[in-house]
Structures are given as structure tokens and as C-alpha cells.
């Protein structure tokens, strides 16, 4: 059965649920693999990790985890090569960049007071806040990730509060139909697909200045919404309302230093003059209603 990568909570698998083995975790949709610690790819990000004592450099304080990346071990789990920002490791870097929640699963082989006594336990959502390489005493380099637990209150502010959630109906009418957890996960995964499409179409190249931020884990860009999400503007979380920007131009766009004309010229708000034209892509249609709404924030 193919694994469908889903970010956030999986309905029916609340925090604290126990699983017999890795296969059961996979079938529940919690983690893609039966062996690897990280469930993720460079293109999609990582949706889950398992802590099960495989790496002596791991460090587990419960709400704060220092997690060692994957790779560089031989069949007997001896470190024989440096790790690199590829595969699952690159997935965790992408999750950091896009602030995607990562499910943490602890196994009974983890040497920590936070590990379950048998099987595997789903222990909630964490955010990757930093990564770096560490040179071990044996000279090999491993990747490390700092993960911090996110509370329920924190999972929401990143999400548009009042967007059209498609088949689920609007927020005001959906209470009787699906749980809050399901709605949040639905929105989160919808948001992920918008971000993924925009970045793919534009190859992470800024539509304003043609810059790509080249990182060791691959190219990076940000997805900006044209008409603001949430109250009072209630812009939709759709490709037609999104742009691929570098962080600098994202800041300029959100704070009104630049805006777009109907012909998609980029206007410097200070001078009112065009400083260039937005680069477009045939698959990425931009709805002028949103462009006009954003412009109305910054010009009379």
C-alpha cells in the first residue's frame, strides 16, 4: 500500500497512542518506512521521525530533542562515512524551512526516560528549529536537528484561520461534520500542496529579482500570499493568490515597499515607478482580483 505523506495529526492516532511495531506505524499513516528514522524527502519535507536509540548523539529532554540525521552507517550500525543533506535529512531541512510539523515517535530501544517500555508511541508534533553538522570523536560528521514540541495553541497561528477548505465546507458549518484535528490537518496539507506547486513551477527562483537562495540542502524560496489570509481580508490559500519570492522581496511585498500593477509590472511604492516585470510561468495563473486587493493596501 502506497504511503500518503500527511503533515500534522493523523485522525484516530492521538498523542500517546501505542503501536506494536514499525509496520503498524506505517499502516496507520504515521511514518513512511519500516527501517529509516526519518519519513521524508527533499522535495516534500519530513512528516515524521522515530527515536529508537540508533544514534548515540541523540539527546532527548522530552519537549526538546536533539536528533541525529540518517546515513553513513554500515549494516552493523557503525559510523563509516559522513552524513550529507540528502534524502530524509534534506526532508527535515525542508520542514524547518517551511515550518512543517513533524510527528515524533519514540521506540522502546531509545535510552531515555521518555521512551515507552515496549513498542512505539506517537508523542505529538514538533518543529525543527535549527540544524548543523557535528564532528564526532571518531572524526565522522553527522547532521543534527533541534526539535521543539509545539503546543496546540501554536499549531494554529501559522494556518489561515478562515480559508475555503473545499469539500469540508466553511468553518462555520463544518463543526458537526469533522473534528477540529481533521480540519487542521486538511488545511495544513492543502497549504503544503500550494507551496509545493508554486516552488516547483518557479524552481525556487524569485519572481521579482530572479534570485535563488542556494543552500547545502538545495534551493530555497518563500511562498507569499498576495491577498492576506485570515481576517479581515480572507484571501484564499490557492496558487492564484500566491507568489514565489526570495525572503527579501517577500518582506518588501508584505510591508508594501513593492506592489503589482494589472500588467504584473513590479512597482516601487516610494517612487510609483516600475522596477521590473513579475516573471510568470504558464501553469501559474495569477488572479488580478488578489493583485488589486494587495495594491489597495498600499496605494490610494
Cα→Cα distances 226→25, 213, 220, 222, 297, Å: 39, 21, 19, 13, 11
Q: Does 282 bind a copy of itself (CB under 8 A)?
A: no
Per-residue interface string for the shown chain with a copy of itself, residues 177-196, x marking contact by CB under 8 A: --------------------
Residue 168: exposed, middle, or buried by beta-carbon count in 10 A (0-12, 13-18, 19+)? middle
- Name the pairing type of β-strands 45-51 and 102-107: parallel
Q: How far apart are CA 64 and CA 123, in angstroms?
A: 12
Binding-site member from 2, 35, 113, 132 for a copy of itself (CB under 8 A): 132
130 vs 180 by CB, closer to a copy of itself: 130
CB of 242 to a copy of itself, least distance (A): 16
Q: How far apart are CA 76 and CA 175, in angstroms?
A: 51
- HSE-up of residue 172 (Cα within 13 Å, Cβ side): 0
Binding range to a copy of itself, per CB under 8 A, among 69-77, 185-193, 235-243, 247-255: 247-255
Binding-site member from 157, 166, 272, 282 for a copy of itself (CB under 8 A): 157
**CA dihedral angle for residue 90, residue 149, residue 115, residue 86, rounded to 10 degrees:** 0
Q: Does 250 bind a copy of itself (CB under 8 A)?
A: yes
116 vs 247 by CB, closer to a copy of itself: 247
CB of 298 to a copy of itself, least distance (A): 6
Q: How far apart are CA 162 and CA 174, in angstroms?
A: 12
Per-residue interface string for the shown chain with a copy of itself, residues 137-156, x marking contact by CB under 8 A: ----x--x-x-x--x-xx--
Cα→Cα distances 29→10, 65, 179, Å: 7, 23, 18
With contact defined as beta carbons under 8 Å apart, do 258 and 213 qualify? no
Q: How far apart are CA 120 and CA 111, in angstroms?
A: 13
CB of 26 to a copy of itself, least distance (A): 30
Residues 69-128 that bind a copy of itself (CB under 8 A): 82, 93, 97
Binding range to a copy of itself, per CB under 8 A, among 26-34, 67-75, 234-242, 290-298: 290-298
CB of 151 to a copy of itself, least distance (A): 4
What is the b/e burial string over 209-238, where b = at least 16 CB atoms within 10 angstroms of the residue's CB?
eeebbeeebbebbbbbbbbbbeeeeebbbe
With contact defined as beta carbons under 8 Å apart, do 109 and 61 qualify? no
Q: Does 230 bind a copy of itself (CB under 8 A)?
A: yes
Binding range to a copy of itself, per CB under 8 A, among 32-40, 164-172, 197-205, 254-262: 254-262
Contacts with a copy of itself by CB under 8 A lie at 59, 61, 64, 66, 82, 93, 97, 129-135, 141, 144, 146, 148, 151, 153-154, 157, 161, 211, 213-217, 220, 228, 230-233, 246-248, 250-252, 254-257, 269-270, 296-298, 300
Amino acid at each position: 500500500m502506497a504511503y500518503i505523506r500527511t503533515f500534522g495529526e493523523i485522525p484516530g492516532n492521538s498523542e500517546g497512542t501505542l503501536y506494536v511495531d514499525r509496520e503498524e506505524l506505517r499502516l496507520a499513516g504515521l511514518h513512511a518506512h519500516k527501517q529509516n528514522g526519518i519519513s521524508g524527502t527533499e522535495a516534500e519535507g519530513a512528516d515524521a521521525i522515530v527515536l529508537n536509540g540508533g544514534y548515540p548523539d541523540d539527546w532527548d529532554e522530552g519537549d526538546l530533542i536533539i536528533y541525529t540525521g540518517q546515513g553513513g552507517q554500515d549494516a552493523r550500525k557503525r559510523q563509516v562515512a559522513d552524513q550529507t543533506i540528502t534524502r530524509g535529512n534534506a526532508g527535515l531541512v525542508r520542514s524547518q524551512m517551511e515550518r512543517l510539523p513533524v510527528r515524533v515517535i519514540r521506540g522502546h530501544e531509545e535510552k531515555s526516560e521518555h521512551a515507552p517500555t515496549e513498542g512505539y508511541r506517537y508523542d505529538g508534533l514538533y518543529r525543527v528549529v535549527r540544524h548543523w553538522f557535528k564532528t564526532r570523536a571518531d572524526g565522522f560528521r553527522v547532521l543534527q536537528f533541534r526539535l521543539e514540541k509545539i503546543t496546540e495553541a501554536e499549531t494554529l497561528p501559522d494556518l489561515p484561520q478562515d480559508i475555503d477548505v473545499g469539500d469540508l465546507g466553511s468553518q462555520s458549518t463544518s463543526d458537526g461534520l469533522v473534528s477540529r484535528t481533521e480540519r487542521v490537518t486538511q488545511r495544513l496539507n492543502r497549504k503544503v500542496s500550494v507551496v509545493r506547486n508554486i516552488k516547483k513551477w518557479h524552481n525556487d527562483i524569485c519572481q521579482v529579482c530572479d534570485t535563488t537562495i542556494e543552500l547545502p540542502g538545495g534551493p530555497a524560496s518563500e511562498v507569499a500570499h498576495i491577498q492576506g489570509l485570515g481576517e479581515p481580508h480572507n484571501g484564499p490559500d490557492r496558487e492564484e493568490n500566491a507568489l514565489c519570492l526570495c525572503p527579501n522581496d517577500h518582506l518588501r511585498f508584505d510591508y508594501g515597499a513593492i506592489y503589482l500593477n494589472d500588467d504584473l509590472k513590479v512597482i516601487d511604492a516610494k517612487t510609483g515607478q516600475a522596477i521590473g516585470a513579475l516573471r510568470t510561468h504558464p501553469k501559474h495563473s495569477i488572479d488580478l482580483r488578489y493583485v488589486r486587493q494587495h495594491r489597495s493596501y498600499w496605494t490610494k
